Structure 1
Amino acid sequence: MNEDDAVDALKRLGLTTYEARVFVALQKLGTGSASEVADIADVPRSQVYGAADDLEERGLVDVEQSNPTRYRPVDVDEARERLYRQLESESDAAFDYLDSVREEYGTADEQSESIWTVRGESNVVSRAAQLVSAADERVVYGTDDTARLEPAVRDALEAAADADVEVTVVSENDDVLDVADDLGALPVSVCHQPTPEMGAARVVMADDDAVLVSVLGDDGAETAFWSRGTAFASMLSSLLGQFVAAQEDQ
């Protein structure tokens, strides 16, 4: 299978031509701006922005808050899970091609000093659960709303606790703490909100080097900012760890 065949297969899965070409180009780049994508994809630069925005809505691309805006594709396995319901026989070949591109260009394990944005509740839930599942030693999950303990999040927290990962759930809401106890996590009651008030819908810390913080917009839509292996992640993890320790001592 060549690149044109892969683009055609992705189109049959529901992507537009421009979306498919931008997604393949980003697999080659690992991360890239609209200009960099346009340089290697048969897509006008003016059309890259719209295609990348549509890919973000599908949960296939993360957007870095920078100037210029930069884009990063999700892992091939994650994309496969999101689109698998629509796969036909040729779809496996398309994803095999994307895997080979990542291997060829050496971007599969790339780390970036960046903060990424995830929009939409289902996409935020997926990212939060993924961070929890990837933890080896410690997870802190904070929320005051039981609605932010979706089944995927609960399963990830419970699986982490069963794997002897230190799991702590922090909340002012006793109902949230009851769920945490049922999952085998350590429930920590927040006696007072940190100052200044962050207004976060959920906070995730994994292994002291990965963090996710989400907020709700005026329309109720959830947006999360997350980072892994960066100075920002380490700093926020340290602050969160100190806050949790202070609550445990009270």
Structure 2
Amino acid sequence: MDGDELRNTLEDAGLSPYQADAFVTLLELGSAPATDLAQASSVPDPRIYDVLRGLEDEGYIETYEQDSLHARAHDPADVLADLRTRADRFETAADEIENRWSRPDIKEHKVSIVKRLDTVLAQADELIRSATNQVQIGLTPAQFEDLADALAVALENGVDVKICLFPPTVGDPELPDERTLARTCTEARYRALPSPFLALVDRSWACFSPHVDSTNEYGVIVNDRTHAYVFHWYFLTCLWEVHETIYAGQRDEPPITYVDLRQCIRDVVPLLDEGYSIEATIRGFETDTGREVTKRGRITDATYAGVATNDGRPAPLAQLAGEASVTLATDDDRYTVGGWGAMIEDFEGVRITIESIDR
């Protein structure tokens, strides 16, 4: 750094142009009378004494009398500490500006648009770790590596985790093996086409970003059940329903847990038609009050808009998009239970556990 750059930097640190010039000149001279310092620098003679007093007050120099006023540079330790503190503050300010630019405060907004995929992944990681019921996520192998620890935490906490993996891009790791999938999800499927990143958490949060080869890099973070419901149907129809299962950890024998009422209907309707008695525990919310409830009883009926297939199973998922509910008979009453977004039923079922299946 030459003398001019040093002067400019000292001005950025708070010195006036005369103070910066006088201090750099004094560093070169070591010590000097005030009049000689004025002649060697750009400071006018009438101003030199005020400039030196200002530098002394700031801790940069010290003055002493020796026939006339002399000055010498002060021990630089304090000055250097101050400059380094200022540098740290500038660095911190730069980081904070970058953070605020790329990541608005999502707590104050229903929908946030962010600039970078990294921001979306960071938010998804945080949400997945705090999930209580379900996670649905579509991602590349590289993104899976970034979020694997968070997914493992969710699964360990009893959360239903469904993963759809996309083809690796250049430089991506290979698809995770079965042991890794068993540690991180309830079920995994594979879609052989590049797709956007999507994470849905507890029916409330959605984190979305275009696929990595898109010309535009941005992200959408949504904290709204209605918007999340739309993304949920995108996940079911485009990332889940028709794709190959590469790992399944779901139990085949009771207790069997569902977080999607429509999937439960597809499995229990044939059993009801064959005369089986199905005991279930349903956890959810009253649709009129929002109060959390847990009910145990017998599933006696299922209602859905589609038409059953020849083997007695309900129609494909698309025909279950309308009204879909089950009737639960308890010791004290009968209740209708709907799925995500239920309005006309008694309860919105969040988690349905089939406890037993008997003739």
What is the TM-score normalised by the length of structure 1? 0.48
Structure showing the higher strand proportion among its residues: 2
Higher Rg of the two aligned structures: 2
What is the TM-score normalised by the length of structure 2? 0.35
